[in-house]
Amino acid sequence: MNIITIILVIIAYLIGSIPFAIIVTKAMALEDPRNYGSKNPGATNVLRSGDKLAAALTLMGDLLKGLIPVALVLFMAKAWGQNAWGIACVSVAPVLGHMFPIFLRFAGGKGVATGFGVILALTPLIALIAVIAWLIVVFAMKLSSLGAIVACVVAATLAFFLTEHQAYAIAIVFIVVLVLIRHHQNIRNLMAGTESKIGKKT
């Protein structure tokens, strides 16, 4: 990993650390999303406030902070001397930033939207298929966490077949593993039948 890659990773991490859920809810005078649901600063918890616009803005912000740095590095890869492995390292950074944001004392969200943004930049087809899987589960069962888990499994499965470089596939699988680990309590709740559905604060 060269010095330029290290700098890009740090910048991508800092971008990923931007807490859009907190920024949006404060700007719109809404309750802190960390007070209910899974207690994390993410779009699903913002939606539990009842404000769909705030949730949409949070979702878009979280997605873009994964998409923009990776898309930029892909576009500038040759000029910045980045190979597939360098791009893969940068791809993981915004997700880590969202999950462990320096601006929130490393207590962040679960990385679904940011991870989706990264995958959208790396392999749009995988992102499209994954979001379709997520939508089917969410509309059928009203369980955002289950939709995210299913989408993650779909993305990881397709990564080794539809990515341009093996490094991208490994980055996607690594991101998926991180997201699934962050959903460990949701997985327990799903198994126990106590997982909160979309629209409920608890």
Residue 62: how many CA atoms within 13 Å on its side-chain side?
A: 31
Give pLDDT, residue 37. Answer: 67
Tokens representing 184?
């460990």
Decide if 42 is inside a domain: yes
Give pLDDT, residue 126. Answer: 97
Number of independent structural domains in the chain? 1
Dihedral angle over CA of 94, 1, 121, 100, nearest 10: -10
Give pLDDT, residue 74. Answer: 97
Give pLDDT, residue 114. Answer: 97
Q: What range does the domain containing 168 cover? A: 3-192
Decide if 200 is inside a domain: no
Decide if 202 is inside a domain: no
Low-confidence ranges of the chain (pLDDT < 70): 37-38, 199-202
Q: What distance, in Å, lies between the first and last C-alpha atoms of the chain?
A: 44
Give pLDDT, residue 85. Answer: 97
Give pLDDT, residue 200. Answer: 62
As a whole number of angstroms, the distance between CA 104 and CA 160 comes to: 34
